[in-house]
């Protein structure tokens, strides 16, 4: 294999926005996502950045009406994540002393939308917070609370033995599982280096890796993918998907594992 790689030094920059808290200025809630992408970044990171910018717009509207958060809110748009979490790590290192003392949580929204199903990963101390916040948010697909939609889906995937006891009585419903955080996105410097409680959340649920597709191959723009029309993945390996992506008429389907509805 012959590769042609250009070695250059480039400047990167993070964009930080901050709203001071009215009651607890020195308690920081930090929310962030990266801005760079391997190619066009339709899912990773732009679905997360879209959510973060919409949150910023909402907070701006609230501030115009005189609202102030109880604690300080910091939004971070990180650069050079794909090359090694560089932007977030530099910012976390530069502000390490203050973050250790003041940061109460770091919320990450990187791959925020690649399907219809909500899930989250976090430190265990944030599980109850995530479950309770999910009860206050409406699920865009079902109209139920996000928690109810999440819970119903998780129960639908459970085996009979996990749903019913030996006498056929339904077992008490347990809360949807929240995964553990490893590494691979910008929560790493906050959680792994500084010990700031962190979570990563988003809507997923399709089987192929669409994270780094280019627009020209099979990306969002060509196929006009509508995230909440993407159906559930097959339950058994080899089973075909009933319906996957809504396509424009002028598109050609190019993968063997899926077919259009």
The binding site for Zn ion (CB under 5 A) comprises 44-45, 110
**Residue with Cβ nearer Zn ion (107 or 149):** 107
Q: Which two tokens stand for residue 80?
A: 């050079």
> Among 81, 160, 170, 239, which one carries the catalytic annotation?
81
Q: Least distance to Zn ion from the beta carbon of 30, Å?
A: 17
Task: Please check whether residue 241 is in contact with residue 259, taking contact to mean a CB–CB distance below 8 angstroms.
Answer: yes
Q: How far apart are CA 108 and CA 86, in angstroms?
A: 15
Q: What angle do CA 55, 184, 51 make, to 5 degrees?
A: 15
**Residue with Cβ nearer Zn ion (212 or 259):** 212
Residue given tokens 């919409």 in the structure block = 54
Q: Least distance to Zn ion from the beta carbon of 204, Å?
A: 13
72 bridge partner residues: 28
Contacts of 6 (CB under 8 A, 6+ apart): none
Residue given tokens 């109460």 in the structure block = 104
**Residue with Cβ nearer Zn ion (45 or 176):** 45
**Residue with Cβ nearer Zn ion (81 or 139):** 81
Q: Least distance to Zn ion from the beta carbon of 111, Å?
A: 6
Q: Is 224 a catalytic residue?
A: no
Q: Which two tokens stand for residue 251?
A: 């598109």
Q: Least distance to Zn ion from the beta carbon of 81, Å?
A: 6
Q: How far apart are CA 179 and CA 112, in angstroms?
A: 15
Instruction: Report, as residue numbers or ranges, the catalytic residues.
Output: 81
């Amino acid at each position: 294999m012959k590769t042609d790689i250009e070695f250059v030094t480039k400047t990167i920059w993070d964009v930080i926005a901050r709203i001071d808290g009215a009651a607890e200025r020195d308690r920081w809630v930090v929310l962030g996502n990266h801005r760079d992408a391997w190619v066009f970044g339709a899912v990773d990171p732009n679905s997360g950045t879209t959510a973060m910018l919409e949150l910023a717009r909402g907070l701006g509207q609230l501030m115009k009406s005189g609202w102030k958060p109880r604690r300080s809110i910091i939004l971070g748009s990180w650069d050079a994540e794909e090359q090694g979490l560089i932007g977030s790590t530099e910012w976390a290192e530069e502000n390490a002393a203050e973050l250790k003392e003041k940061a109460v949580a770091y919320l990450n929204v990187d791959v925020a939308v690649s399907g219809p199903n909500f899930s989250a990963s976090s430190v265990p101390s944030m599980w109850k917070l995530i479950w309770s916040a999910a009860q206050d948010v409406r699920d865009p697909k079902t109209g139920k609370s996000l928690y109810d939609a999440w819970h119903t889906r998780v129960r639908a995937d459970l085996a009979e033995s996990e749903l019913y006891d030996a006498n056929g009585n339904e077992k008490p419903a347990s809360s949807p599982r929240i995964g553990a955080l490893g590494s691979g996105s910008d929560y790493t410097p906050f959680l792994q280096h500084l010990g700031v409680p962190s979570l990563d959340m988003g809507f997923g649920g399709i089987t192929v890796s669409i994270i780094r597709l280019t627009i020209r191959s099979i990306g969002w723009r060509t196929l006009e993918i509508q995230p909440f029309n993407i159906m559930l993945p097959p339950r058994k390996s080899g089973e075909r998907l009933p319906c996957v992506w809504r396509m424009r008429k002028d598109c050609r389907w190019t993968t063997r594992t899926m077919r259009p509805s």
